[in-house]
Amino acid sequence: MSSRSTSASTAASTTTTPVSSIPRTITPVSGASAGFYRPGFQPKGVYRPRTDEFAEARKSKRSAGKIEQTRLERRLEKLINLHFSEPSEKSKTLQPPPARQRRSSLFDLDFSELRGKSASELWKDVINSQAQNGKNDIRAAEQRITPWEGDSAVSQCPICLVSFHPITNRKHHCRLCGRIICSLPVRHPQRPVTCSLLFVANTKTGVIEEVGEGIDYGVRRRTTSTMGPGKGIPPPGDDDKFLSGVRICRECRSVLLRQQHIQEAHSTPMFAKLYTLLISIEKEVEDLLPQFQELLLSLNNDERPTAGASAARKRLVEAFAHYDAAAKRIRNLPCVRGSSQDRVQMAILARANLFLQKNMFPLQSLPKPARRTNSGSSTPSTPTLALNETTIDPDSELAHALQPLLEQEALLETFVQEATTKRKFENAQTLRENLKEIRGEIDRIVANAEREQAHGKGKGRT
C-alpha cells in the first residue's frame, strides 16, 4: 500500500514538472536573476515568492470568518438589549409576569404553581396565556434578530444526532445562529457536553453569565457565577428574581466567551483596585515621612510644636489607619482557602504589617515636644499600636527605652525569615534566641513601667 502511494507520488512529480515547464514558472520571479535556465545546474535554487498569493487566500477566508463573527456579536448585543435591558424600558412589553419566551403548550406550566390555585384562577391563567399573545412579540423580535430554522426541516439534533420528540425531546432554537438543537442533559457517550446552554446578562452591569438548565425557561439567578471566580457579588435583592435565560447552541458559545473576556478585560477586579489603593497610600506615606522628620528637626529648638507639624503628624497617622484598613480588606476578600489568591492576600497583609512596623513605630517615638493632649488624641487612632493598654507618651523615657527594642524585634523577625529561606538554620537559631531575649527585655520594661505607674497612682491617692 505504502509502496504504491510512493510510486504514485513520484510518478505524479515527474509528470507535473516536466523540464519544459520550469522556465515558464520561473520567469515572473525577477528580471535580474532570470538567466538562462540550464537543467541540472541551479546554484541558487528556484526562488518563487508566494507570500502574496497566500495573503490573498488567507484574507478571503479570514474576512468571511470575521464577517460571521461580527454578525453573531451584533446579534448577541441585540439579544441582550431585548432581554436584559433596564426594567423601565421593557416594562411595557414584558415586565409583569416572569418572562417566558414560549408557552406553546400546557407542558410548560409549572405544576406546583397549579396545585395551589383554585379552578377559577387556573382558568384565568389559561385565558391569560392565550390572551398574552403579546408575549409572542418577544419571539417575533428574536426572529427579527436571527432568522430561525424551520421546524419541519429538522428531525434530529445536528450536534448529538438525537431525534426530536414532541413531548420528551422538544426542539429549541439557538438565538444566535437560528439552528434547532436539543436541550437534553449530558449523556455519555453521545453527548459529552450539552448541546445548548442558557445565559443571562446583568441588567445594570451587562455582565454575561452562563446559567444552568432549569425546569422552566425562567432560571433562578445563581449567586456564584460559572465563569471565572472573583466577580462581584450580585446585589442581594436580585437573587430571588427570576430571570429568563436565553438559549444558544454549543457552537455559538465561543461568541459568548469572547464577549465575556472583553468585559472582564475592561473591568478590574476589586482585589486589584484595593491593591493600587494600598500602594498609593504607601507612596503618600513615603513622601510625607521625610517632610515630617525635617519639620521635627526644626522643632527641636523651640519647645512648642507648630500647627504644621501636628497637622503633618495627623495626616500621617490617618494615612497609616487607611493603609491598615485597606490591607485588612484585601485579606478579607472572599477566596478559596489555600489557593494562590489566598496566599497572595496573606503575603500582602504580611508586607503591609512590615511596612507599618517599620514606619509607624518610629513615628511614635520621635522627639516631639508635644503636649499631653496632642499625643493623647493622636495615638489611640493608630490602629495596631496595642503594645499595652496604656497609651505611651512618645516623649517619655519608657518610649525611648522601648523604641529601639521594638525596632530590633521587627528587624530580627525579618532576619530570621531571611535566614530560614536561605536555609541557614544555624543562623536562624541564633537569631531566634536573640529575638527571644529581646522580647523578654521588652516584657520586662513594660512590666516595670506598669508597676511604676501603679505605684505612682497609689502614692498619689494617699
Partner 1 sequence: MSKQFQFKLVLLGESAVGKSSLVLRFVKDQFDDYRESTIGAAFLTQTVTLDDQTTVKFEIWDTAGQERYKSLAPMYYRNANCAVVVYDITQSASLEKARSWVRELQRQADPSIVIALCGNKTDLNARRQVSQEEAKKYADEEGLMWGETSAKTGEGVSDIFTAIAKKLPLTAPPSRPGANRASASGTQAGVDLNRNPVSTEQTDGCNC
Which residue, chain included where needed, has cell 424551520? Answer: 150
Nearest to partner 1 of 162, 445 (CB atom): 445
Among 349, 430, 432, 450, binds partner 1 (CB under 8 A): 430
* Helices 340-365 and 270-299: angle between axes, nearest 10 degrees: 10
> Closer CB to partner 1, residue 69 or residue 403?
403
Using only C-alpha atoms, the chain has a radius of gyration, in whole angstroms, of 38
From candidates 220, 253, 411, 432, binder to partner 1 by CB under 8 A: 411
Kindly write out the interface string for residues 334-373 of this chain, putting x where it contacts partner 1 by CB under 8 A and - elsewhere: ----------------------------------------
Instruction: Please give the Cα distance from 287 to 156 (Å, whole number).
Output: 70
Of residues 404, 447, 454, 455, which one binds partner 1 by CB under 8 A?
A: 404
In the complex with partner 1, which residue's Cβ is closer, 181 or 399?
A: 399
Q: Does 413 bind partner 1 (CB under 8 A)?
A: no
- Of the residues 293, 408, 417, 420, which one makes contact with partner 1 according to CB under 8 A: 408
The yes or no reply on residue 53 touching partner 1 (CB under 8 A) is no
What percent of the chain is helix, strand and coil (3-state, nearest 5)?
60, 5, 35
Least separation in angstroms between residue 379's CB and partner 1 is 20
- Using CB under 8 A as the binding rule, whether residue 397 contacts partner 1 is answered as no
Which residue has cell 489555600? 338
Phi first, then psi: give them for residue 439, nearest 5 degrees.
-65, -40
Q: Of these, 138, 438, 446, 449, which contacts partner 1 (CB under 8 A)?
A: 438
Amino acid at residue number 108: D
Helix (H, G, I), strand (E, B) or coil at 410: helix
Verify binding: residue 439, partner 1, rule CB under 8 A. no
Intra-chain end-to-end CA distance of the chain, in Å: 116
Would you count residue 415 as binding partner 1 (CB under 8 A)? yes
Does position 427 interact with partner 1 (CB under 8 A)? The reply is yes
426 near partner 1, rule: CB under 8 A = yes
> Is there binding between residue 291 and partner 1 (CB under 8 A)?
no
- CB-count burial class (<10 Å; 0-12, 13-18, 19+) for 19: exposed
DSSP state letter for 169: B
* Cell numbers placing 23: 522556465
How many CB atoms are closer than 10 A to CB 16?
A: 8
Stretch that binds partner 1, among 172-180, 344-352, 407-415, 446-454 (CB under 8 A): 407-415
Q: What does DSSP say about strands 208-211 and 196-201: parallel, antiparallel, or unpaired?
A: antiparallel
Given candidates 77, 89, 238, 433, which one binds partner 1 under the rule CB under 8 A? 433
Q: How far is the CB of 457 from partner 1 (least distance, A)?
A: 26
Of 405, 417, 420, 450, the residue at the interface with partner 1 (CB under 8 A) is: 405
Find the binder of partner 1 among 85, 183, 384, 403 (CB under 8 A).
Answer: 403
Does residue 400 interact with partner 1 by CB under 8 A? Answer: yes
441 vs 450, beta carbon nearer partner 1 = 441
- In angstroms, the CA 320 to CA 282 distance is 9
Side-chain half-sphere CA neighbours of 159 within 13 A: 23
| Residue 407 is a binding residue for partner 1 (CB under 8 A) | yes
The CB density around residue 260, as the number of other CB atoms within 10 Å, is 20
DSSP 269: P
Q: Which stretch binds partner 1 (CB under 8 A): 25-33, 285-293, 349-357, 431-439?
A: 431-439
- Cα separation of 398 and 446, whole Å? 8
Please report, as ranges, the residues that interact with partner 1 according to CB under 8 A: 400-401, 403-405, 407-408, 411-412, 415, 424, 426-427, 430-431, 433-434, 437-438, 441
